[in-house]
Amino acid sequence: MHKGPLIVVSGPSGSGKSTVIDRVLRDQSVPLRLSVSATTRSPRPYEVDGVHYHFWTRERFVAERDAGAFLEWAEVHGNFYGTLRSEVEPYRERGNGVILDIDVQGADEIRRRCPDCVRIFLRASSMEAYELRLKRRGTEDQATIDRRMARACQELARAKDYDYEVINDDLEEAVKQLNVLIQRLFSR
């Protein structure tokens, strides 16, 4: 049996990663799952533990990190985020594809540890689009939005380091493009 593909999707806050990935997962005719990351940040009102993230205390995160439970981890915006081996490796061994929704720093670490991964950068075509999307969420104050916008500039400079780039100005088109890329990975 072939190992399932590991698909890394990165992009700035407000690029629509979660929305596009959710739609892609619904549309797939191949065995594909989203890896649920662990984080120390507080859940947003709509988020469910174990579905959107594994919401952990800092102490648990550090203990798991020190025990080697993560493929990658980072501190972002004052919180820890990490990709658990248990969310990736057993599924890939069974031939399932796994999508990681992670930042550029995490994507770099995954590339080092899993050189067979395919990295896709999802972005909007303008900075204004990011800011508008972040404000529409209604989950962050202006200082947080400003920090995320500054980080978006840094992340956009890294788009050229990815295998593919998908522009998400039109949700249907972005979903279609990502689906095509994923289908190709399963037909290799």
Domain's final residue, options 45, 61, 87? 87
Decide if pLDDT at 179 tops 80: yes
Q: How many domains does the chain have?
A: 2
Rounded-to-integer distance, Cα 33 and Cα 16, Å: 18
* pLDDT at residue 130 in the model: 67
Same domain, 30 and 44: no
d(CA 159, CA 141): 27
Rounded distance, CA 16 to CA 174, Å? 10
Q: Same structural domain for residues 104 and 72?
A: no
| Same domain for 132 and 187 | yes
Q: What is the tens place of the pLDDT at every residue in 76-135? A: 779 999 999 999 999 999 999 999 999 888 999 999 999 999 999 999 887 777 677 777
Q: From CA 102, how far away is CA 57, in angstroms rounded?
A: 20
| 68 and 124 part of one domain | no
* Residues 67 and 156 both lie in one domain: no
Same domain (yes/no): 132, 155: yes
Q: Are residues 181 and 105 in the same domain?
A: yes
Q: Are residues 167 and 116 in the same domain?
A: yes
Does 137 share its domain with 147?
Answer: yes
pLDDT, one tens digit per residue, over 46-64 is: 899 999 999 999 999 999 9
Q: Which domain holds residue 187?
A: 1-35+96-188
Q: Are residues 61 and 22 in the same domain?
A: no
Mean pLDDT across the chain: 91
Report the alpha-carbon distance of residue 109 to residue 131 in Å, rounded: 28
pLDDT at 29: 82
* 133 and 58 co-located in one domain: no
